[in-house]
């Protein structure tokens, strides 16, 4: 059994977020456990790497890898190569973990059998009314409210990480990892983390379109893991119940869902 973990943070131009992310991360460590933190600043044109280096110079167990090559999957490969512990926690640089989350993940993954774990996501307060409405409805969906979705932060123990080798060049790394595990192997840790959603109509459509492409890509390339999904079906009754409770949120969510079906040529887009 292991009371240690390597936390891998891919970060591309996250100077505005990385400091708060690291502060919350170190405050969430499990007493008596060993936590190695690896920030992979990939293709940054801002001060992300320097800000992380400042934390490393404070005596934290933090390594900064500054690579000119962009790309989250490349950054994850570099982070895994530098990781010294079997348990891996993959954390987006704009996520704020609550004080108990990292401790809870390490404890949940302290087992010999393959396990996957994440916390309970809360969408950070948005500035735009359309994002607030979309997020309000989206957070009631079964995948978010009752599953272990893992967007923003997900973790696996050593036996779980052995389920795949290097990171494939795909859009949705979190979906790819989650579907390596059947629902019974996924653990929901009852600790919160704050995850930012993109602001405004145009960005919501762009990100939703990209998310849908990511799911379709996995279905095409890795159809064998789709059987592990285990999502609770929403059904017509569930949709109507939620629509009556929040007609504005439903209207915005439905409109975005329709808009993504229109032709679009979005390239890479940040998840917020």
| Domains in the chain: boundaries | 4-259
Q: Quick: pLDDT tens for 179-191.
A: 999 999 999 999 9
CA distance 61 to 253: 42
- Among 6-15, 51-60, 156-165, 257-266, which stretch is predicted with the lowest mean pLDDT? 257-266
Helix (H/G/I), strand (E/B), else coil: 105: helix
| CATH of span 4-259 | 3.90.550.10
Helix (H/G/I), strand (E/B), else coil: 32: coil
Helix (H/G/I), strand (E/B), else coil: 96: strand
Q: Does the pTM of the predicted model rise above 0.85?
A: yes
> How many angstroms separate the Cα of 267 from the Cα of each of 172, 213, 264?
14, 11, 9
Question: What pLDDT score does 268 carry?
Answer: 43
Helix, strand, coil tally for the chain in percent (to 5): 45, 20, 40
């Amino acid at each position: 059994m292991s009371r240690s973990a390597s936390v891998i943070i891919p970060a591309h131009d996250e100077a505005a977020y990385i400091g708060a992310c690291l502060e919350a991360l170190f405050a969430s460590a499990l007493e008596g456990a060993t936590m190695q933190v690896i920030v992979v600043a990939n293709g940054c044109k801002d001060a992300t790497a320097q800000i992380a280096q400042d934390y490393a110079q404070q005596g934290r167990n933090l390594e900064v890898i500054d690579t000119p090559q962009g790309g989250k999957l490349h950054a994850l490969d570099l982070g895994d190569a530098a990781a010294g512990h079997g348990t891996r926690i993959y954390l987006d640089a704009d996520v704020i973990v609550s004080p108990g989350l990292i401790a809870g993940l390490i404890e949940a993954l302290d087992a010999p059998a393959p396990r996957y774990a994440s916390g309970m996501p809360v969408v950070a307060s948005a500035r735009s009314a359309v994002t607030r409405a979309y997020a309000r409805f989206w957070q009631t969906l079964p995948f978010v409210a009752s599953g272990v979705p893992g967007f923003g932060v997900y973790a696996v123990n050593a036996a779980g990480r052995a389920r795949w080798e290097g990171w494939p060049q795909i859009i949705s790394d979190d979906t790819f990892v989650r579907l390596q595990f059947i629902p019974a192997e996924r653990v929901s840790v009852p600790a919160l983390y704050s995850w930012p959603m993109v602001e405004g109509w145009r960005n919501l459509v762009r990100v939703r379109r990209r998310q849908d492409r990511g799911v379709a890509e996995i279905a095409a390339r890795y159809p064998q893991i789709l059987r592990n999904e285990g999502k609770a079906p929403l059904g017509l009754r569930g949709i109507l119940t939620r629509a009556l409770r929040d007609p504005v949120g439903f209207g915005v969510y439905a409109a975005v869902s329709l808009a993504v079906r229109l032709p679009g040529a979005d390239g890479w887009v940040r998840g917020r």
